[in-house]
Structure 1
């Protein structure tokens, strides 16, 4: 057959051609990757299968992490609890991976051409070559490697390294360590001077930025009331723009907020604790992590260690008033005490020392009124603690912690099981209710009342824009802004001007992608506002008025 005869004819391949084996192709690809960085090494199918089995559950942006055994162990904790303990996952390169100030000092060439050593170039020939021999009159000839070094030195002499490159190369520490390396005080005395103009009362200049946790978002939950990112906390120092977030995936993540990259710093994974609240210690040295369990964890930022609360902190056996969860806690402003809401209206006072590792309950405040504790708030001098609760959630008891007695008691008829928060300068007290109403009080007006249970104080402002239970509130550090939100419905967030109590008319809009907001907070420097929602997203905005 003609076709068969044609197929049996001689090959039209050029003379000297031979087929290449797969091994030769792999060697060529490997050499190309080492020289030009265009491809990765081709792994065997066995290696690929092992990687899929071992890391298939991890996210792509969390594959390169380091689990450090830096959990302080309590001898009384069982082996099972310790095996399920927290882990630290760094989201940055280890310290040894950072380049030195001169990358040529320790780097080595991936490929060396022996012909360079055999090459001999005269420096006495052309004018260009004579310039390379300046200062070395005795050198007549150099080999190829020496010539390359001289050309590089001449280029760097003509084009000096810019300052930004020098600063980048000198940054050898991981980001968290670099932020903690300063010997300056964490806490600024006053971040808001008198030179700044007053904030407009009706509109606000606000700009949305890249999501704070865009690099590593929390997982979206579906079954519990609080899902996604349940809480956030800003570092108390304006000099350290670090934001911590807690998610239903039982991970606490730290981010270095700059409004552009918002680089992730590290992740704490705590399998044994369903998270509900995180808060920085007032000194800024540690983070308190609590949830729906009668114990807590603290993360020390300087030593990068996690410590569990002491065993039997609230007694060897549960009592009718001992806490079954630590969802409502509050540090005193001086950082020496931690108030923990218990059952039946009781509040435990924990003496805070050594990062919480040796915490001791020094007092238990019990008024006998019954009901649950809705929220807690300290006075600026840490001497008094306000407790919101009662059977209808509208009663506020003010305790003198030192004397362990109630010094004032008052009631808000419209605050039913909401939230209590006091601004750090003791200018305002805000009570949020299950009806969505937030009542604002001048804190000075609350100091003259007695312990009469029928004392009723009229708020100076009632904020009635929301109609669902208030879940989170936050004061701006300057005292000029107040934010409130509810997670019961979509887009339930309002921003108010203080002291007028006027809601800004230009924000948020119908197109602002708020979702269901679980937590809101302002940065200590005042330039950022963050809002965490049930989808695991932490939205971030820049407040232009406070940017400088």
Structure 2
């Protein structure tokens, strides 16, 4: 071979070697940059995350080694391409086996080996990421197991099985040792002996008054349990609206608001429990209290376009939260939007309106008059679907619909309470009552079904002890309520309500007390 050819070949080899050196330098720089980047990332992590990584991966250094791959293995297999760290050097010095060098080096083999090293490097990084993801998943499982172990199992509120969200208590003593820690906690010690409430004797226990921490200084006109939380509301003629947590033992006060020069005639929660609507005795406006924002809004009646009422005392809120029904004068019913508080439309009856109530699905309205007639309205069209005469009634005084949509209960001025089938009220002008409750001898002023449609509470505000609990569907009165003890008399009951799962029953009376009873048959609040 000529000297010129050898010279050119030498130049080509030198050029190729320089390219390889540059490639190695580039890989070294890239590796150092990646190492520095990961170290910065670890340095910037919160203390809690560092702690968890130390627990799972054994420390930051080991984590970096996992991410970058084992440099010791790469240093031994690619000593010509990557610089070994100090540990590799010590390992190489201690090795007794002699290192054999190749007699000659093929430039193409060096390039292929470099490419192969790069592929293995990327593979190591991807493997490290997969190991990190798997380790985090294992960590989450372990932490969940430790949490459940500390809590004694999966908490009822965290269970995905709806049957396990409510558990029944193991004892039925009267100590009431369990008290609520928050507004949504289950309270009371209950025992459900059967799936259906038996008739005859009601297992009931008198508890501390619901408003014991702030009794009303005037007659209490409203008592209502919150639809979602373990809270009860009271309101009365002392111009106050108060909220209490119900635990059956202490019933601590949550909040109390005072409405200046506004004796509260009636107050109700909105369907979602975020608002309280309150009406007065003879006022040209009503209040809306926003429980979430803590603001109180005055709604003047004259600002509601199309509404011509000087005052409104009775009203109802639809179960679906869409409507607010104002019971006006001269037989008028006014349907308002719950969201805007603006008039949607009005309905007119013959005679003076006494009471009105929505059906459970909010599609219908039942209303009665002072002449004994009962009207059934379609909410969407606001047309009268049926009109029937309450059997033997001279004047309607109260209404109640069962939560399951089976029964309609009509109270009259004579104290008689007639219970009808829901379908009969839609189809007949003179339906026959399923049962007539005649245990009250004065005006049946209020009544309410419990959520399970197993109890109907009826009361008269003109006589002490005039509260009866009726078993449904036998329509017999529980003989042991109210209690005969003189110390626990029910003075002139004005309003009543059951808790969302019937565990508690409350009566508001004219002495400003919210009497509270625990119904032991029911296991939930």
Q: Any idea what the Cα deviations from partners look like across 1:464-520, whole Å, max 9, x if unmatched?
A: 011011121111111101111111111111111101111111222321411111111
Mark the runs of 5 or more structure 1 residues left unpaired by the alignment.
1-161, 165-175, 183-193, 221-227, 450-454
Q: Residue 501 in 1 paired to residue 485 in 2?
A: no
Name the residue aligned to 2:227: 236
8 Å Cα contact 1:313-1:359 kept in structure 2: no
What aligned pairs does 1:439-454 form with structure 2 within 5 A after superposition? 439-449=418-428
Q: Deviations over 1:199-222 (max 9, x none)?
A: 1111110001111111110013xx
SS in 1 for 2:424: helix
Question: Is 1:269 aligned to 2:234, yes or no?
Answer: no
Cα deviation, 1:74-108, whole Å, max 9, x if unaligned, reads xxxxxxxxxxxxxxxxxxxxxxxxxxxxxxxxxxx
Aligned with 2:490 (options 514, 517, 537): 514
Alpha carbons 2:464, 2:489 under 8 Å: kept: no
Structure 2 CA distance, aligned partners of 1:402 and 1:445? 21
Residue 485 of structure 1 corresponds to which residue in structure 2?
459
In the aligned structure 1, how far is the partner of 2:194 from the partner of 2:364? 33
Tell me the distance in 1 between the aligned counterparts of 2:328 and 2:290: 26
- In 2, the alpha carbon distance for the partners of 1:261 and 1:427 equals 37
1:366 aligns to what?
348
Q: Does 1:296 align with 2:286?
A: yes
Partners of 1:499 and 1:478 in 2: how far apart? 11
Whole-angstrom distance in 1 between the partners of 2:295 and 2:181: 13
Structure 1 partner of 2:206: 208
1:475 paired residue number: 449
Alpha-carbon separation, structure 2, partners of 1:275 and 1:407: 34
- 1:349 matched residue in structure 2: 335
Q: Structure 1 pair 337/380, CA: closer, same or farther in 2 (3 Å)?
A: same
Point out the structure with the larger helix share. 2
Matched residue, 2:234:
245
Paired residues of 1:313 and 1:361 also in contact (CA < 8 A): no
* Inter-partner Cα distance in structure 1 for 2:262 and 2:352: 22
Q: How many residues align?
A: 339
Moved over 6 A (4+): none
Superposition map of 1:141-540 within 5 A: 179=183, 196-220=194-218, 228-237=219-228, 240-292=229-281, 293-309=283-299, 312-315=302-305, 322-353=308-339, 358-367=340-349, 369=350, 371-389=351-369, 391-392=370-371, 394-415=372-393, 416-449=395-428, 455-511=429-485, 512-540=488-516
CA contact (8 A) 1:231 1:519 kept: yes
Q: Which residue of 2 aligns with 1:139?
A: none
Greater CA drift, 525-534 or 504-513 = 504-513
TM-score (norm 2): 0.61
Following TM superposition, by how much is the alpha carbon of 1:340 offset from its aligned partner in structure 2, in angstroms? 0.7
Give the whole-Å Cα distance in 1 for the aligned partners of 2:284 and 2:408: 29
1:310, distance to aligned residue in structure 2 (A): 5.0
Partner Cα distance (2:365, 2:453) in 1:
21
Question: Aligned to 1:545, which of 492, 496, 521?
Answer: 521
Pairwise CA distance, 1:198 = 1.3
Q: Which secondary structure does the structure 2 equivalent of 1:333 belong to?
A: coil
Give secondary structure in 2 for the equivalent of 1:414.
Answer: coil
CA contact (8 A) 2:230 2:245 kept: yes
Q: Secondary structure at the match of 1:509?
A: coil
Question: Cα RMSD over matched residues?
Answer: 2.5
C-alpha distance in 2, partners of 1:379/1:521? 17
Greater mean alpha carbon deviation, residues 428-437 or residues 398-407: 398-407
Structure with max Cα Rg: 2
Deviation of the 1:324 alpha carbon: 2.9
Deviates more, 1:322-331 or 1:522-531: 322-331
1:305 to 1:195, Cα distance in 2 relative to 1, 3 A: farther
Bigger CA drift: 500-509 or 521-530? 500-509
Equivalent-residue separation in structure 2 for 1:461 and 1:248 (angstroms): 35
**Equivalent residue of 1:418, what SS?**
strand
CA distance in 1, matches of 2:181, 2:380: 38
Cα deviation for residue 414 of structure 1 reads 2.6
Q: Is the 8 A contact 2:465 2:492 kept in 1?
A: yes
Aligned mates of 1:179, 1:267 — CA distance in 2: 16
Q: Secondary structure at the match of 2:474?
A: coil
Deviation of 1:459 after TM superposition, in Å, equals: 0.6
Residue 149 of structure 1 corresponds to which residue in structure 2? none
Report the Cα distance in structure 1 between the residues aligned to 2:151 and 2:366, rounded to whole angstroms.
53
Distance 1:519 1:500 in 2: 24
Name stretches of at least 5 consecutive residues in structure 2 with no aligned partner. Answer: 1-149, 153-179, 186-191
Determine helix, strand or coil for the equivalent of 1:312: helix
